[in-house]
Amino acid sequence: MDSPLLQVTDLTMRFGGLTAVNALSFEARRGEITSVIGPNGAGKTTVFNCITGFYRPTSGDIALTHPDGAAFRLQILPGHRIARRARVARTFQNIRLFAGMTVLENLLVAQHNALMPNVASGLLAVFGLGGHRAAEAVAIDRARGWLDRINLLPRADDPAGALPYGDQRRLEIARAMCTAPVLLCLDEPAAGLNPRESDALAELLKTIQADGCSVLLIEHDMGVVMRISDHIVVLDHGSRISDGDPAHVRADPSVIAAYLGEGDEDDPDVPLAAVPDGSLAAAS
């Protein structure tokens, strides 16, 4: 099947007089890890918020096609339907776990729709009817599986807010994966991680990809991006300036110019050429 999983066409997002994203087009192919990079303020998170329904784009089209051929136009779908029907999951740049709930509860909330397809079944569950108990056993098994994968099984009954930062990042990814997505959108998952944690994250993303879930990634850690991406889209000032595989993007003069910056004073990232083998973390 050749139709891309996610096809963004002429996406424009304006906030008053500010154009955050300007006629952006790109695609994310099935089974690939697609990275969106660019200097701070390039509009990466805005693109994410449009795809996941938190912003309604000013114009443009965001089409998602499932492996079974079901097609969704994400720009007109209500926010919760994007996760539920179109099966797009996301994490947040500033971690948004349910801090006062346990690690296990976080993963069960993510499986809410499997446990409770509608309000009536939710109320029936109070009386022990409607197969809630069996559904919950399945959900707990699934959660246990993910906790095992991210090495948090021993901490399953601890509040999520008490976990160390790196664990919280991984838990947020596991929580998003518990919604059984076809596309996982990660907003700077490596931010604040030390090099070893970044490596573990890269490994985790590779296994997620191997399981058949496509990944859309915003990241400043060039080490991670260059190592695991199949495809990179580079944004600057809301427009696409480069698009291709890591080798192509790394060599693109316009990318280097954007990162070294004639005008981008606030983000003096190390030029991409300086990390030829991807072993260095370039993010600050």
Partner 1 sequence: MSATNVAPTGTDDPGSRQLLRRISKSVAGGNPFADAALSALVAFGLFAALIGLRTDSGPVGLVLTPRPWALAGWVGAVFLVRLLVLLWRQRTRPAQAYAENRRLAEGLAHLSRLLAPALLLLALALPSFADRSYLDLGVLVLTYVMLGWGLNVVVGLAGLLDLGYVAFYAVGAYTYAIFSTQFGLGFWTCLPLAGALAALWGVMLGFPVLRLRGDYLAIVTLAFGEIIRILLINWASLTGGPNGISGIPRPTLFGLRFDASGGPDTFAGYFGLEYSPTQRAVFLYYVILALALLTNWFTLRLRRVALGRAWEALREDEIACRSLGINVTATKLTAFAIGATFGGFAGAFFATRAAFVSPESFTFIESAIVLAVVVLGGLGSQFGVVLSALVMIGGLEMLRNALSELASGGYLGPLGALVPDPGQYRMLIFGLALVVVMVLRPRGLVSGRTPSVALGRRREISAELVAEGRG
Residue type, 43: G
Distance CA 236, CA 256 (A): 11
Q: How far is the CB of 174 from partner 1 (least distance, A)?
A: 12
CA distances from 107 to 117, 153, 267, 275 (A): 17, 12, 35, 36
Distance CA 155, CA 167 (A): 10
Cα dihedral sign, 228-234-236-238 = negative
Q: How far is the CB of 159 from partner 1 (least distance, A)?
A: 5
If one asks whether residue 214 binds partner 1 (CB under 8 A), the answer comes out as no
Nearer to partner 1 (CB atom), residue 29 or residue 112: 112
The three-class DSSP label of residue 196 is: helix
Nearer to partner 1 (CB atom), residue 170 or residue 231: 170
If one asks whether residue 157 binds partner 1 (CB under 8 A), the answer comes out as yes
CA angle at 59 for the pair 75 and 37, rounded to the nearest 5°: 80
Residue whose pair of structure tokens reads 């005008």 in the numeric block: 263
- Selected binder of partner 1 within 71, 76, 148, 161 (CB under 8 A): 161
Residue whose pair of structure tokens reads 């154009």 in the numeric block: 19
Q: How far is the CB of 83 from partner 1 (least distance, A)?
A: 3
67-126 binders of partner 1 (CB under 8 A): 79-84, 89-90, 92, 96-102, 104-105, 108-110, 112-113, 115-116, 119, 122-123, 125-126
Q: How far is the CB of 114 from partner 1 (least distance, A)?
A: 9
If one asks whether residue 144 binds partner 1 (CB under 8 A), the answer comes out as yes
**If binding means CB under 8 A, how many residues of this protein chain bind partner 1?**
48
Residue 244, strand partner residues: 232
Nearer to partner 1 (CB atom), residue 142 or residue 231: 142
Provide CB contacts within 8 A for 174, sequence distance 6+: 107, 146, 147, 149, 150, 152
Footprint on this chain of partner 1 (rule: CB under 8 A): 52-54, 79-84, 89-90, 92, 96-102, 104-105, 108-110, 112-113, 115-116, 119, 122-123, 125-127, 132, 136, 140, 144, 153, 156-159, 161-162, 175-176, 179
